[in-house]
């Protein structure tokens, strides 16, 4: 019977490995997808900041031309002030000059703001470009390993299932049936060791006489509380 118990414990290890492989079929693609999404997000931020910088530079160039043109017109108005003859012409020209000065001032204020945008965007572009380069270098090998691991899962599952089939063929049918029933009901953990004279599954204390019976390993013993199969381990 001790051999049966050892076989059940080995079977449980195989089933745990199979469960982890099944979970890997879900979380490995998610990990790959998350890495790709992170890189795509960096690329998007990089392009947005690059576009913002280019648009600001374009607008700055337009404003500089407008300012230069306005200053030329302002110079003409100021020259005209010397030759005007009526108060009406004077008032009209003063209004034109004030309007042109205000336009130049507003444009220069906008240029200053654009310079700040250009500096910030340029700095961010350089920072993101570095992050993208580092990300590509760091993630390439990681992605290759994840993809390699993902592609080998089915082969590993097939190998584990073959080993499981060989092992179950050597286990007593009744003991195997008890194991399968408990494993299904307890979500995988069917065989647990005694820990400090308590069930390793639910931690309920086991009576001393039953502990000695479990230690002999002459038949299957289950926990009265959780129903799991109890085995002795040489830790006490």
CB 70, CB 107: distance < 8 Å: yes
Q: What are phi and psi of 122, to 5 degrees?
A: -65, -40
- Residues facing residue 199 across a β-bridge: 194
Most distant CA atoms of the chain, gap in Å? 126
Q: What is the pLDDT along the chain (236 residues), one digit of tens a residue?
A: 788 988 999 999 999 999 999 999 999 999 999 999 999 999 999 999 999 999 999 999 999 999 999 999 999 998 988 888 889 988 999 999 999 999 999 999 999 999 999 999 999 999 999 999 998 888 988 898 999 999 999 999 999 999 999 999 999 999 999 999 999 988 778 999 998 889 999 999 999 999 999 988 888 999 999 999 999 887 54
pLDDT at 133: 92
pTM: 0.61
Lookup result for tokens 């005694």? 194
Fold of 17-157: Helix Hairpins (1.10.287)
Identify the pLDDT of residue 107: 95
Give residue limits of the domains in the chain. Answer: 17-157, 172-231
- 67 touches 108 (CB < 8 A): yes
Show the DSSP H helices in the chain as ranges: 2-80, 87-151, 153-168, 173-185, 208-216
Q: Give the CA distances from residue 235 to residues 125, 153, 188, in Å, rounded to whole numbers and listed in that order.
A: 60, 35, 24
What's the pLDDT score for residue 236? 46
Burial 172-201 (b: 16+ CB within 10 A, else e): eeebbebbeebbeeeeebbbbebeeebbbb
* pLDDT at res. 235: 58
Q: Do 168 and 210 contact (CB within 8 A), yes or no?
A: no
């Amino acid at each position: 019977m001790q051999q049966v118990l050892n076989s059940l414990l080995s079977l449980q290890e195989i089933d745990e490995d199979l469960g982890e492989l099944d979970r890997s079929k879900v979380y490995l693609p998610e990990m790959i997808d998350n890495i790709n999404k992170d890189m795509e997000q960096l690329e998007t931020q990089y392009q947005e900041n690059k576009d913002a910088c280019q648009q600001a530079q374009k607008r700055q160039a337009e404003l500089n031309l407008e300012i230069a043109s306005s200053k030329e017109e302002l110079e003409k108005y100021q020259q005209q002030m010397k030759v005007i003859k009526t108060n009406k012409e004077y008032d009209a020209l003063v209004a034109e000059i004030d309007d042109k000065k205000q336009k130049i001032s507003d444009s220069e204020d906008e240029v200053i703001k654009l310079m700040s945008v250009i500096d910030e965007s340029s700095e961010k572009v350089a920072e993101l470009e570095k992050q993208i380069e580092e990300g590509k270098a760091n993630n390439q090998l990681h992605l290759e390993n994840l993809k390699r691991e993902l592609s080998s899962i089915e082969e590993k599952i097939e190998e584990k299932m073959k080993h499981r089939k060989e092992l179950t063929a050597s286990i007593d049918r009744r003991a195997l049936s008890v194991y399968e029933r408990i494993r299904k009901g307890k979500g995988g953990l069917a065989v647990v060791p005694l820990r400090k004279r308590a069930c390793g599954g639910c931690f309920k204390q086991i009576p001393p006489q039953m502990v000695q019976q479990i230690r002999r390993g002459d038949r299957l013993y289950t926990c009265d509380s959780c129903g799991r199969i109890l085995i002795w381990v040489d830790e006490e």
